[in-house]
Structure 1
Amino acid sequence: MHWLDCQQTIPKLEGMSDQASNHTMASMEPEIQSIVHRIKSGKAKRIVVLTGAGISTGAGIPDFRSPNTGLYDKLAPLRLPYPEAIFHINYFSHTPEPFYAIARARHPGNLKPTVTHAFLALLAKKNLLHFLFTRNIDGLEQDAGVPTEKVLWAHGNWKSQHCYKCKSPYPDDLMNKAIRTGEVPYCLETGCRGAVKPNVVFFGQALPAEFDEKEKEVLEADLMIVMGTSLRVAPCSRLPGLVKKGIPRVLINNEKAGDLGNRDEDVCILGSCDDGVRQLADALGWREDLTDLWNEAVAAKKDDETFEGGTSLDECIEKLVNGMKDKMKVSDGHKRMLENHLNNKFEQMIAKGPAP
């Protein structure tokens, strides 16, 4: 199947007749039905899932690369050497301020699981989830009810922190204060003063040692679902390629990613992850189960008082930009003094004439 032939989730457009809309949905049906049949017949008992930032956009966390709305585009006012620098350990080691400037807006303290997170929990509840690899650090799949032993947080999470230099742990209450205020926390060990970072994997750092072991789970998959990721960051991007030939791979994403769609057995559901899992749940007859589980997960997730009244990402960036301007600002009086000093120097140089 070429990616241009991938199934696409297309909502009924204004002015489209019911007949045309039904025809569009009917043309999609055979592809999803092949997955439905595989699951209901018991041929898909070991489903492996790979998720990225796209499954959490519905919770209010922007993804990274979407034009205009993605995190990297929003960081433009900070004039970073390149957008990813904010998450690179080399840049963080000497300039941690941008990371902490946006930390409050990115922290998952008051975020609720999406229907996609609930779908993952539903797979686990039905004993179909073999293993979940996630590049996300928000932990919302755990909040939705996915068992921790079924998840590898390939890029770590926010649940603990340490000094990046001496690796000493750092108290949770002080870390929460730093995130709330947007200030950089520094190591408490005498003579260290290294910046503290949450236990998330930055660019330039190795993934958890267990990744190499756990990626073997993909070889055992009888179905793989890839959701909300561009598949541009290794080594997670290589996981779909490990699926054995003949085993279906389902892509639920806004656009084509990696080589998904190139195999005959691939199925692509293009659109938002939440819409895609609802469509799949409907085809499986799981919609009621999914809705109930999602409602329970949202109700169970208690707000973290530390981050109540959280600041938006745009507000965090604006605050940092204004702070940088203030630090670089020269008072009018000081500016006049410098100008007079330079003018005097210039006049003295002219009076002395050219150097021999």
Structure 2
Amino acid sequence: MSDDTSRHIKASMEPDIQSIVDRIKTGKATRIVVLTGAGISTGAGIPDFRSPNTGLYDKLAPLRLPYPEAIFHVNYFSHTPEPFYAIARARHPGNLKPTVTHAFLALLAKKNLLHFVFTQNIDGLEQDAGVPPDKVLWTHGNWKSQHCYKCKSSYPDDLMNKAIRTGEVPYCLDTGCGGAVKPDVVFFGQSLSAEFDEKEKEVLEADLMLVMGTSLRVAPCSRLPRLVRRGIPRVLINNEKAGDLGNRDDDVCILGSCDDGVRQLADALGWGEDLNDLWEEAVATKKNDQTFEGGPSLDECIEKLASSIKDKMKVSDGHKRMLENHLNSKFGHIITKGHG
């Protein structure tokens, strides 16, 4: 057999969407575990983090942060919370609608096929789409509550919402504290909750795993796909290859946007109409919550803070020049007297 013929036979035997469809339809996949990342929410208007030019980290360039991730690092937040709150409204889930991908997760739950979801996102859009909360672990926390960073006192929701709408930093109400309030999301430099270690075993129970919209670069979630038992298909729905997905014989890679990928899968399963109905219902329901409707875009939030920083620098530079001129004048006078 020639090498070309051998390669052709191997390619024809590689699993594809139909192999996943067959597995689900024959009842071989009834415990689907899902890992999601920022890519499932880009359709809601949240840029991912690392895409060149369009990713959040590139968009933050005008703020001249010490490094892009600093905006989400607990050490930086502890002394400079302004950048985080400057963009909070644009990224707050109250201002966003669930995507088709979020609706697909809800559809899996509705069909009793969803075993568990690990999400690295903090937007909570899975719940807005109809995924039962007990089926989701927000590994990096979410916006449902908030506490003072220093003394850990809770902070009222209405005051937090006001701070987010105005882009101002909320501070602790306890007399003598004055610490910045932080939503209960996990920043860089903070540990994940102990619940992650407890729920990690859910991956071992999977008879199918979906990995969607993640680069698999952030631990410990990046290790979850490797825990899937041999012989169990892993499906990657992402713009590009990630982790070791594609290295196992049963892996299936659907490259492109997450929304396009889940539509392909739903259509192949005959679920296209159900998916659209569920998505439209989720979006309509979210429209009733107008707490953060009509807010500025992410670019506008960044531009506003960048201009503010620039204005402060101008004032600082002005004072610096005045001081330098004053010192030069006095210094020059002393030199003249010394040599007179």
Same fold (TM over 0.5): yes
Contact 1:226 1:249 in 2 (8 A): yes
> CA offset at residue 268 of structure 1?
0.2
Distance 1:352 1:302, change over 3 A: same
Residues 157, 198 of structure 1: 8 Å contact kept: yes
TM-score normalised according to structure 1 size? 0.88
Structure 1 residue 303: deviation in Å? 4.4
Say whether the 8 Å CA contact 2:89–2:95 is kept in structure 1: no
Structure 1 residue 132: deviation in Å?
0.4
CA contact (8 A) 2:204 2:228 kept: yes
Identity within the alignment, %: 88
Which residue in 2 is equivalent to 1:251?
A: 236
Contact 1:109 1:303 in 2 (8 A): no
The residue number in structure 2 matching 1:48 is: 33
- SS of residue in 1 equivalent to 2:16: helix
Q: How far off its partner does 1:342 sit?
A: 3.0
User: Would you say 1:283 and 2:271 are equivalent positions?
Assistant: no
Secondary structure (helix, strand or coil) at the match of 2:230 reads: coil
TM superposition shift of 1:261:
0.5
Please tell me whether residue 184 in structure 1 is matched to residue 144 in structure 2.
no
Question: 1:209 is matched by which residue type in structure 2?
Answer: A
**What is the match of residue 328 of structure 1?**
313
Cα 1:235–1:335 change in 2 (3 A) is: closer
1:301 aligned counterpart, secondary structure: helix
Q: Paired residue for 1:238?
A: 223
By how many angstroms is 1:295 displaced? 1.1
- Write the mapping of 1:2-151 to structure 2, written as runs, cut at 5 A: 31-151=16-136
Match of 1:222 in 2: 207
Q: Gaps (5+ residues) in structure 1?
A: 1-26
CA-atom RMSD in angstroms: 2.0
Consecutive aligned runs of 4 or more in structure 1 exceeding 4 Å deviation: 27-30, 331-337
- Give the Cα–Cα distance (whole angstroms) in 2 for the partners of residues 75 and 28 of structure 1: 45
Is the Cα–Cα contact under 8 Å of residues 234 and 251 in structure 2 kept in the other structure? yes
In structure 2, give the amino acid aligned to 1:291: N
What is the distance in 2 between the residues matched to 1:67 and 1:332? 33
Length, aligned pairs only: 329
Whether the 8 Å contact between 1:110 and 1:302 is mirrored in structure 2 is no
Partner in structure 2 of residue 302 of structure 1: 287
2:180 paired residue number: 195
Structure 1 CA distance, aligned partners of 2:225 and 2:30? Answer: 18
Q: Is the 8 A contact 1:119 1:277 kept in 2?
A: yes
Taking a change above 3 Å as real, the CA distance of residues 350 and 111 of structure 1, as seen in their structure-2 partners, is same
Q: Distance in 2 between the 1:131 and 1:333 partners?
A: 58
Secondary structure, counterpart of 1:160 in structure 2: strand
Could you say which residue in structure 1 is the equivalent of 2:252?
Answer: 267
Counterpart residue type for residue 307 of structure 1: F
**SS at structure 2 position matched to 1:168:** coil
Stretch of structure 1 that moved more, 335-344 or 284-293: 335-344
Contact 1:113/1:298 (8 A) holds in 2: yes
> 1:73-113 deviations in whole A, cap 9, x for unaligned?
00011111111110010110011011001001100113111
**TM-score, length-scaled by structure 2:** 0.92
Which secondary structure state, in structure 2, belongs to the residue aligned with residue 307 of structure 1? coil
Aligned letter for 1:156?
G
**Which secondary structure state, in structure 1, belongs to the residue aligned with residue 101 of structure 2?**
helix
Aligned in 2, Cα 1:149/1:332: closer, same or farther, shift over 3 Å? closer
Deviation at 1:29, TM superposition (A): 9.9
More moved, 27-36 vs 127-136: 27-36
TM-superposed CA distance for 1:136, in Å, is 0.8
Contact 2:15 2:251 (8 Å CA) reproduced: no
| Alpha-carbon distance change, 298 to 346 in structure 1, aligned in 2, over 3 angstroms | same
Q: For 1:58, give the aligned amino acid.
A: G
Query: Could you tell me which residue of structure 2 aligns to residue 15 of structure 1?
Result: none
Tell me how far apart the structure 2 counterparts of residues 333 and 99 of structure 1 sit (CA, whole Å): 28
Q: CA deviation at 1:30?
A: 5.7
Cα distance in 1, alignment partners of residues 207 and 247 from structure 2: 18
